[in-house]
């Protein structure tokens, strides 16, 4: 039993190292991932920021940055989906399955590499926020808890990306699917408070899992715009920032494993 566990851990690290090396060899992909949040910071923080309204008043960039952090985590769906689909198209999955390695290592290695990459990307995005004048105001402990909730969201999005990548099977199809999912990531409280939207749109935005993480991050960072909603879900953002990712992971993790096992037959 112990030997099998050691074997799985070693194989997982082998896959993780392989995926991390591809990012080092092809830094353009990493730069592309980071360009999105930086672009949103510049676009909404400086171009549109003066025209944005923050509930209760305050600096819009203080309101914006927790939303950008959460968006950075959600955007990882597209990258994960594309990488998994590319590996399938190139036959990498088939070659891995032909090797004497733990079957779980391919999926867990991909997961570990993505989480390491996402953590590094989040730190860089937080650094960009500090450069433009954003900061946390409620202690280091709460700030670290906010980072943990953001990474929990990324963990859930990762399994969504893996499952969809296994389903579509090609990078072109993955790009098309991500194009359909992208608007869902925009109907949130990241850029505009739901109470300022039309009632039906505000309801959808509040119940978007991404909005719960945004609200929890604002609350824990001590930024403006936290706890301004009158709805139940808006008032329990920290709780729902845990519940939503756990539920999503509970759905898509077994679906991903089952789909991978089906490919192996």
265 residues of the chain, pLDDT tens digit each: 566 667 677 778 888 888 788 777 777 766 777 777 788 777 776 766 666 767 777 788 888 899 999 998 998 898 889 888 888 888 877 677 777 676 677 788 888 888 988 898 899 889 888 888 889 988 899 999 999 999 999 999 999 999 999 998 788 888 888 888 888 888 998 888 888 888 899 899 999 999 999 999 999 998 877 666 678 888 889 999 999 999 999 999 989 888 887 776 5
**CA distance linking residue 182 with residue 39, whole number of Å:** 16
Q: Whats the size of the chain, residue-wise?
A: 265
In this prediction, residue 265 carries a pLDDT of 57
Query: Do 128 and 38 contact (CB within 8 A), yes or no?
Result: yes
Query: Do 209 and 77 contact (CB within 8 A), yes or no?
Result: no
In this prediction, residue 240 carries a pLDDT of 95
In this prediction, residue 204 carries a pLDDT of 92
In this prediction, residue 50 carries a pLDDT of 63
Computed on alpha carbons and rounded to an integer, the radius of gyration of the chain in Å comes to 19
CA neighbor of 213 nearest in space, from 258, 134, 156, 167: 156
In this prediction, residue 143 carries a pLDDT of 95
Q: How many CB atoms lie within 10 A of CB 215?
A: 32
Question: CA angle at residue 74 from 72 to 77, to 5 degrees?
Answer: 115
Look up residue 226 and give its DSSP letter: T
Which is it for the CA torsion 83, 88, 91, 94, positive or negative? positive
Q: Directed axis angle between helix 237-263 and helix 140-168, to 10°?
A: 30
In this prediction, residue 243 carries a pLDDT of 97
**CA distance linking residue 36 with residue 32, whole number of Å:** 7
Instruction: Return the SS3 of 132.
Output: coil
Model-level pTM? 0.89
In this prediction, residue 51 carries a pLDDT of 63
What does the buried/exposed string (b/e) look like for 31-63 if buried means 16 or more CB atoms within 10 Å of the residue's CB?
eebeebbbebbeebbeeebeebebbeeeebbbb
For 54, phi then psi, to 5°, come to -105, 125
Query: Do 249 and 82 contact (CB within 8 A), yes or no?
Result: no
**CA distance linking residue 140 with residue 212, whole number of Å:** 21
**CA distance linking residue 158 with residue 101, whole number of Å:** 23
Instruction: Return the SS3 of 17.
Output: helix
In this prediction, residue 42 carries a pLDDT of 78
In this prediction, residue 139 carries a pLDDT of 87
Cα 172 vs. chain centroid, distance in angstroms? 21
Q: How many CB atoms lie within 10 A of CB 130?
A: 11
């Amino acid at each position: 039993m112990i030997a099998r566990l050691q074997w799985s851990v070693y194989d997982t690290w082998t896959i993780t190292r392989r995926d991390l090396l591809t990012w080092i060899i092809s830094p353009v992909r990493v730069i592309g991932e980071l360009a999105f949040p930086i672009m949103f910071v510049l676009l909404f923080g400086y171009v549109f920021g003066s025209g944005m309204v923050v509930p209760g008043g305050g600096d819009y960039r203080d309101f914006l940055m927790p939303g950008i952090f959460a968006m950075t985590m959600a955007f990882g769906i597209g990258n994960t989906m594309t990488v998994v689909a590319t590996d399938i198209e190139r036959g990498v999955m088939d070659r891995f399955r032909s090797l004497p390695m733990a079957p779980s290592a391919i999926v867990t290695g991909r997961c570990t590499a993505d989480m390491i990459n996402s953590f590094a990307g989040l730190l860089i995005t937080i650094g960009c926020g500090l450069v433009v004048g954003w900061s946390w105001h409620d202690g280091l402990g709460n700030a670290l808890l906010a980072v943990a909730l953001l990474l929990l969201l990324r963990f859930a999005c990762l399994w969504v990306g893996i499952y969809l990548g296994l389903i579509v099977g090609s990078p072109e199809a993955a790009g098309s699917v991500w194009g359909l999912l992208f608007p869902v990531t925009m109907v949130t409280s990241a850029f505009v408070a739901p109470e300022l939207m039309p009632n039906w749109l505000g309801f959808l935005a509040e119940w978007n899992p991404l909005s719960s993480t945004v609200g929890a991050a604002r609350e824990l960072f001590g930024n403006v715009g936290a706890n301004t909603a009158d709805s139940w879900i808006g008032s329990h953002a920290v709780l729902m920032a845990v519940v939503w990712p756990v539920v999503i992971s509970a759905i898509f993790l077994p679906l991903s494993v089952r789909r991978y096992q089906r490919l192996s037959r």
